[in-house]
Amino acid sequence: MLVTLIIGCEIAFWVLLGAGLAVRYLLRLPRAGAALLVCVPLVDLVLLAAAVADLRDGGTAAARHGLAAAYVGFSAGYGHSVVRWADARFAHRYAGGPKPPPAPKYGRARAVHEWRLLGRTAVSTAVAAALLQLAVWLVADAGRTAALGEWQVRMGVTAGIHAVVAASYTLWPKREPAASPRV
């Protein structure tokens, strides 16, 4: 049931995002579009409430609970930037807005970009790990919550891998290719 709800929440996220942008730019109703976009985080609250209810009703923590926490954590860390990203592209495509700049590919600018992404990943993993810890305390039965501790480790590994990636762009920045001479 919870896995189905996670999938449903992911679909609802994109439907609300698309509907909000369509109403904002295609129907030219910016306030109504903004109202729909404000509803996007409510999807996370529904998922969080369902995961908590499942555990409070005696369910044993499993991968689905960790996935729900990771989903909510990702939304906390990356949700706003995903909405901004989609908004800029939708505005460009359908409302004559400026073309969004691409992510930097080379040098210091790319390293800074990667460190910003790492900050979002850190927020995501911290929120997910905190939610998992709250669930452990809420259930108060180590036998029923062992899987949640495993997910906390996964969150830490995810942040660690991203830190290595960000550091690699700092220590070994990718150089812009030299322009080939014209003949």
pLDDT of residue 183: 62
Band (pLDDT 50/70/90 cuts) for residue 99 is: very high
- Which segment of 36-40, 110-114, 140-144, 163-167 scores lowest on mean pLDDT? 140-144
Cα separation, 33 vs 20, in Å, equals 4
| pLDDT of 30 higher than 80 | yes
pLDDT-based confidence at 103, cuts 50/70/90? very high
Residue 155: C-alpha distances to residues 3, 118, 132, 138 (Å)? 19, 13, 10, 20
Quote the mean pLDDT of the chain: 91
pTM for the model:
0.86
79-83 average pLDDT score? 93
Mean pLDDT of the region 45-61: 84
